[in-house]
Structure 1
């Protein structure tokens, strides 16, 4: 009795200690803004949770825009928009005057010539009516990146708009710096070059701690390409949530660090700078995954700052709650093993069995709180919520069932036992249920694994929910006895090969710099090895 109690206490203490470490506030740079100083300019889109630009009948009103601009006027001198016809954005210039804001007015250029014409006509009209507020018109945003128009087409749009604007209102085009490099002649058609420098989205992603130096290098490079031309860094920033890209980690502390260091660099070098973006835009998750909806430094729901200038930021502000629920869950795992053993008359007596229980408890307890926090953030649409709900259900059931299986000395289960229970008449109800959990877990893990292999760019890694599941089956398989009569297990062997290959691919594709990818890939490898053990040790009755 002393051994399980001591192990349980040790595991719970470890869970609390890890979370206490993770929850510590991360020091931030010295605030780049003096008292009362505002941001130079920020990207603004009016879409709140539940709203998006894809719905023709938008419920966004000028009053909503007015509320947003009133908030932004307290922290910035300028807003950049991306459309002149969508979502009451045509009300921005007039409302910006009310709040003392300048406007970089956006025209959304895409493939549809009718929509393009409506955008151009409305933007020109707004600029003519509000020349004191509209300082520049941005004719197109990343159109070359999306491949929707040629540089000659964009130059024609720029010439037309320029000819219709009142004196003093400039024109520009905005795109990622590489596309300006490939289309240098386009600079002849603009009053200033608007370049996007987003270290996170580079083809070779740049880690947060190196992003400001990278931005400085690219900005100098662009300045040399277009010597004598004014340069606006039209988009730069860092996301607060989402999947890593190589060593680039989205987090609240990294967002606070990067934005403040970028502002400090801009002030030091005299760079013109626009930060993307003001408010989180949840609708972007449909296009760019979790990370796409978390570029704002203002929260989508509270409309408040995610960090305070110059103050330390915790990446896990709810760590006490996460530590507590993890420790409780770990305690339940130990209790489940002990009660199952007593009920079966075969309690885990050796250190090997209790060590396996401790492994299940530690892995699931560490990740349970993080999973509960990450699933709502990473779930989008019906399919996403089904997957998220399945992760929670299996991450709860599998560790507890694994502890019960260890305590009751259940044998190794197979997919055959789940798919064709009649073929194994000697299996207990516990073994049948545990086999069913195995089959469901394989399906769920395969969906995640294959997504990360064939379409990984915007996919989250789901390691928090997968860890309790994989650890449960892995530790139980290490101490469980096999069936007496041997048979081939083709399903397990095939699944093992899929997970082993997927795990290795994820690690290589994401690189060792991506600890989320390394963790997730390792989970697939462990699951593959577990299934391989079931395949080679499988027995029939």
Structure 2
């Protein structure tokens, strides 16, 4: 075998092996504690919203088909004894009868908001359902986080609670809100039979890591018991998301969701707490207001309608890891194949250093493109979301496909103008134009994400999988040769400084415990340095 072929083949095999080993390791199921539920035992209660993909509570004339709720309750009756609802409109007035059919009890929710007419309909219907179904409705939850949203005053809410309590007795009445808002409005206890608090460690002002979520719930519940002596405390919402962006140390993942559920349910049984888990099914509509993470709190997947984990059994964080390996090996073949094609006419052959640069593109691209494919349906919402994330993914694939040929052909990076200014095309080579175009697209991709994470970060994801492939593709040429700087100008300068600021600001703003933010910050800094190398000094004569 010629020496010119031996090194790239060895590198390709090594890179493919590393990728396979990495994803085999990441795909190893995460062990869970023993099931907190005995054989045949069910969850005490679980939050239920009936909306499936394409449905939302904001659709004015939507009426959920009775058969849909019936199917959901049939499924939930196998795993829970009780469901908590949040409203009685959009078909949920049929819920008590369907709950009875399946042997479920209910915490019947009445939705309150700024619309007085809608409130009146909710209250009248909710009161009637409680009066007609005392065997099923074990409590009425009048309002959910209405104080948190600032849609009613405490005095207005107290008046509503008092009126409903008189109408539905002896069915107990409560109000549900984040625990801090109960602390600020202790007078409401006079109008409720018990206090319903929400403890969501992920959403705390100071987010709590998954392994500390159970102790955090315990601490807050005890704090509320001391604040409201003599009042029963219901943990009305607690849970963990299975997908979405990190908040400090709080990482959404399948294994973290399962671990938090195990810990909280075990704690509730041990301490004798009443607890309701959020939530039964994923709610895709929440992604519009809360980002990717908002749609992935369910114990049951929205698409497959299958449970995300089995109690006491190991959980996979990357169920598609075998596909990731296959995509990774294909990316390695693409990168090295591109390099062989690009270096065919190069006088003297492709230097060893260039092959190592190609291997870097193959490694980072191959290790991340499979995960990028898996992330696309999770992080893409609507046509705009799919278009934007699809374009970013396309740039990642283009970088893996094009830049190895550019490197093997002896070309370095080139300024944006080589590709974007048609007047320069006649005097520029094909590889130079390709390199400049990939660099411009990479800057646009990383820059658009950086802009969001600097100015509107709370619900924005860190799409680090495709961005890693992109940044590796444009940074790799810098390992082996100088960039062509002729024609670099203001665009590269502005992008360089913008990415430098974002690369420092985003990790500091998210805290250094957020490794997703640190990863993105590193990518932004690497691309900033790459642009500096392109535009720092124009090449002379």
User: Considering the TM-score relative to the shorter chain, is it more than 0.5?
Assistant: yes
How big is the shift at 1:444?
2.1
Q: 1:289 to 1:540 in 2, by over 3 A?
A: farther
How big is the shift at 1:200?
0.5
Equivalent residue, structure 1, for 2:393? 392
Equivalent residue, structure 2, for 1:55? 59
Equivalent residue, structure 2, for 1:28? 32
Q: Return the TM-score normalized by structure 2.
A: 0.97
Q: 1:488 to 1:36 in 2, by over 3 A?
A: closer
CA deviation string 1:366-405 (max 9, x = no partner): 0010000001110001211111110221110012211011
C-alpha distance in 1 between matches for 2:477 and 2:314: 42
1:489–1:536 contact (8 Å) kept in structure 2: no
CA deviation string 1:454-494 (max 9, x = no partner): 1111101000010111110011133234448x666221111
User: Which range moves more in the overlay, 92-101 or 436-445?
Assistant: 436-445
How big is the shift at 1:437?
2.4
Of 116, 129, 133, 1:126 maps to: 129
How big is the shift at 1:434?
2.6
Instruction: Find the residue that maps to 1:342 and give its secondary structure.
Output: coil
Instruction: Find the residue that maps to 2:345 and give its secondary structure.
Output: helix
Instruction: Find the residue that maps to 1:152 and give its secondary structure.
Output: helix
Q: 1:540 to 1:47 in 2, by over 3 A?
A: farther
How big is the shift at 1:427?
1.2
How big is the shift at 1:168?
2.4
Of 279, 289, 295, 1:287 maps to: 289
C-alpha distance in 2 between matches for 1:168 and 1:159: 13
Instruction: Find the residue that maps to 1:144 and give its secondary structure.
Output: coil
Equivalent residue, structure 2, for 1:508? 508
2:361–2:404 contact (8 Å) kept in structure 1: yes
How big is the shift at 1:521?
1.1
Number of positions where the alignment pairs a residue of Structure 1 with one of Structure 2 = 537
How big is the shift at 1:184?
1.2
Asked if 1:94 is matched to 2:97, the reply is: yes
How big is the shift at 1:419?
2.4
C-alpha distance in 1 between matches for 2:381 and 2:98: 33
Equivalent residue, structure 1, for 2:120? 117
CA deviation string 1:13-57 (max 9, x = no partner): 000000000000000010000011110000000011111111122
1:415–1:492 contact (8 Å) kept in structure 2: yes
How big is the shift at 1:420?
1.3
Asked if 1:224 is matched to 2:229, the reply is: no
Of 152, 158, 163, 1:160 maps to: 163
1:412–1:538 contact (8 Å) kept in structure 2: no
Q: 1:144 to 1:540 in 2, by over 3 A?
A: farther
| Stretches of structure 1 lacking an aligned partner (at least 5 in a row) | none
Alignment of 1:302-313 (within 5 A): 302-313=304-315
C-alpha distance in 2 between matches for 1:91 and 1:461: 41
Equivalent residue, structure 2, for 1:69? 73
Asked if 1:8 is matched to 2:9, the reply is: no
How big is the shift at 1:345?
4.1
C-alpha distance in 2 between matches for 1:38 and 1:338: 60
C-alpha distance in 2 between matches for 1:149 and 1:512: 38
1:346–1:408 contact (8 Å) kept in structure 2: no
Alignment of 1:139-288 (within 5 A): 139-165=142-168, 167-288=169-290
Q: 1:483 to 1:102 in 2, by over 3 A?
A: closer
Q: 1:189 to 1:59 in 2, by over 3 A?
A: closer
C-alpha distance in 2 between matches for 1:483 and 1:325: 32
Of 315, 322, 325, 2:324 maps to: 322
Of 296, 301, 304, 2:303 maps to: 301
| Stretches of structure 2 lacking an aligned partner (at least 5 in a row) | none
How big is the shift at 1:100?
1.1
Instruction: Find the residue that maps to 1:146 and give its secondary structure.
Output: coil
Equivalent residue, structure 2, for 1:433? 434
Instruction: Find the residue that maps to 1:173 and give its secondary structure.
Output: strand
Instruction: Find the residue that maps to 2:343 and give its secondary structure.
Output: helix
Instruction: Find the residue that maps to 1:140 and give its secondary structure.
Output: strand
1:507–1:521 contact (8 Å) kept in structure 2: yes
C-alpha distance in 2 between matches for 1:97 and 1:433: 66
C-alpha distance in 2 between matches for 1:516 and 1:483: 33
2:503–2:524 contact (8 Å) kept in structure 1: yes
- Indicate the RMSD between aligned Cα atoms, in angstroms: 1.4
Equivalent residue, structure 2, for 1:446? 447
C-alpha distance in 2 between matches for 1:218 and 1:270: 15
1:48–1:282 contact (8 Å) kept in structure 2: yes
Q: Return the TM-score normalized by structure 1.
A: 0.97
C-alpha distance in 1 between matches for 2:103 and 2:53: 27
2:33–2:259 contact (8 Å) kept in structure 1: yes
2:418–2:487 contact (8 Å) kept in structure 1: no
Alignment of 1:414-425 (within 5 A): 414-423=415-424, 425=426
Instruction: Find the residue that maps to 2:147 and give its secondary structure.
Output: helix
Equivalent residue, structure 1, for 2:369? 368
C-alpha distance in 1 between matches for 2:483 and 2:317: 44
Q: 1:524 to 1:483 in 2, by over 3 A?
A: closer
2:51–2:283 contact (8 Å) kept in structure 1: yes
Instruction: Find the residue that maps to 1:33 and give its secondary structure.
Output: coil
Of 335, 342, 345, 1:343 maps to: 345
